[in-house]
Homo-oligomer: A and B are copies of this chain.
Amino acid sequence: MKKNSLISIWKNIFRIRYVEEKIAKEYYKGEMRCPTHLSIGQEAVPSVLDQFIQKTDLAVSGHRAHAHYLAKGGDLKKMLCEIFGKENGCAKGRGGSMHLIDRSVGFAGSTAIVANSIPIGVGIALAKKLKKKKDIVIIYFGDGAIEEGAFYESINFAILKKLPVFFICENNFYSVYTPLKYRQPKDRKIHKMVKGLGCPVFSTDGNDPFKIYEKISAAVKKIRSGKGPIFGEFYTYRHREHCGPNFDDNLNYRPKNDLKYWLEKDPLISLEKKIKKKKMIFLNMKNEKQKIINEVNEAFKFARKSKYPSYKITTRDIYAKKN
């Protein structure tokens, strides 16, 4: 991995983390009034992927989309405004945290029903292929989403039509509070199951930017070459509750050992450790952090200051007009 990439990945991770922590810290104030699924602990995959994709590559995601949106280059202010319900929100305040979009950077939308943006992504990929574009489509989802028939139908179609889709499954072992063992066959490896469907797959540690880098680098290249979709399973862990700002391990739904293991594998901390160990002291980390912190604080201020939508929403807003 080149130094520049590493810097950029670290920046991504740190930035997402800082945004999410700030949301968590300030959520209690009751200004961010919507169901909010934080990405803390799961920042690495989108942060690395960013190295390999352009704005013309499109991404879709689900309920836990902040990291995906930000790493894709989504406008931070617009995201926060959306979470705050303000008129500058990326969805004009209509969608909230679970409905993010920034077409200008190729973030095509995130939706709140489990697995339901997967067919959307496949449709976008079909469009890309028909238009003979070299762009690829990234579809983010969790280990719960693969239980929906929608996932199965969609990936079958993507394989059949050799579509340029990068299926990214962030396996954090839980669907809300429910562990995999109550939902999927014992001993299943999700990526192996998907291989059986006819899709090239890989799996890797989703908290280790170096491993992710290597895997994604090869995958994106292959997808871009027109050989069809690839499915990557990334093992990771969410630090906080499924939905909301708090820690909830007092509820004891996750084995203490797992928790410990994964907290030690915190992508931000472990990356910073590695950077220091490798003596890759670049520029000025403290300085960079401060820049990000300033940017984020600024964005929060902006969101707070922004107005609630002043218009009254009516049935006129329901249909697109012909132009």
Compute how far the CA of A203 lies from the CA of B195 in the bound complex, rounded to whole angstroms: 19
Of A149-157, A275-283, A313-321, the stretch lying at the interface with chain B is: A149-157
From B148, B153, B159, B193, give the contact of A185 (CB < 8 A).
B159
Q: Which residues of B contact A243 (CB under 8 A)?
A: none
Q: A192 and B184: CB pair below 8 A? A: no
Q: Which residues of B contact A196 (CB under 8 A)?
A: 192-197
Nearest CB of chain B from residue A42's CB, rounded to whole Å: 24
Within 8 A of B (CB), among A266-309: none
Nearest CB of chain B from residue A218's CB, rounded to whole Å: 21
Within 8 A of B (CB), among A152-173: 152-153, 156, 159-160
Interface size class of A (residues with CB under 8 A): 20 to 34
> A183: CB under 8 A from chain B?
yes
Q: B195 and A183: CB pair below 8 A? A: no
Nearest CB of chain B from residue A129's CB, rounded to whole Å: 16
> A249: CB under 8 A from chain B?
no
Nearest CB of chain B from residue A214's CB, rounded to whole Å: 25
Compute how far the CA of A171 lies from the CA of B187 in the bound complex, rounded to whole angstroms: 28
From B149, B185, B195, give the contact of A149 (CB < 8 A).
B149
Interface string of A171-205 (1 = CB under 8 A from B): 00000000000111101100011111110000000
Nearest CB of chain B from residue A191's CB, rounded to whole Å: 10
> A147: CB under 8 A from chain B?
yes
From B153, B188, B193, B195, give the contact of A147 (CB < 8 A).
B153
Q: A193 and B198: CB pair below 8 A? A: yes
Compute how far the CA of A185 lies from the CA of B198 in the bound complex, rounded to whole angstroms: 7
From B159, B184, B198, give the contact of A160 (CB < 8 A).
B184
Nearest CB of chain B from residue A175's CB, rounded to whole Å: 13
Q: B197 and A193: CB pair below 8 A? A: yes
From B149, B192, B194, B197, give the contact of A153 (CB < 8 A).
B149
Q: Which residues of B contact A192 (CB under 8 A)?
A: 196
Q: Which residues of B contact A156 (CB under 8 A)?
A: 147, 184-185
Nearest CB of chain B from residue A125's CB, rounded to whole Å: 15
Compute how far the CA of A97 lies from the CA of B315 in the bound complex, rounded to whole angstroms: 46
Q: Which residues of B contact A184 (CB under 8 A)?
A: 156, 160, 198
Cβ contacts A to B, 5 pairs, < 8 Å: A148-B149, A149-B151, A152-B152, A159-B185, A196-B197
Shortest beta-carbon contacts, A-B, top 7: A149-B149, A196-B196, A185-B198, A152-B152, A159-B185, A149-B153, A193-B196
Besides A188-B198, A195-B196, 6 other A-B contacts (C-beta < 8 A) = A147-B156, A149-B151, A156-B184, A160-B184, A193-B198, A196-B197
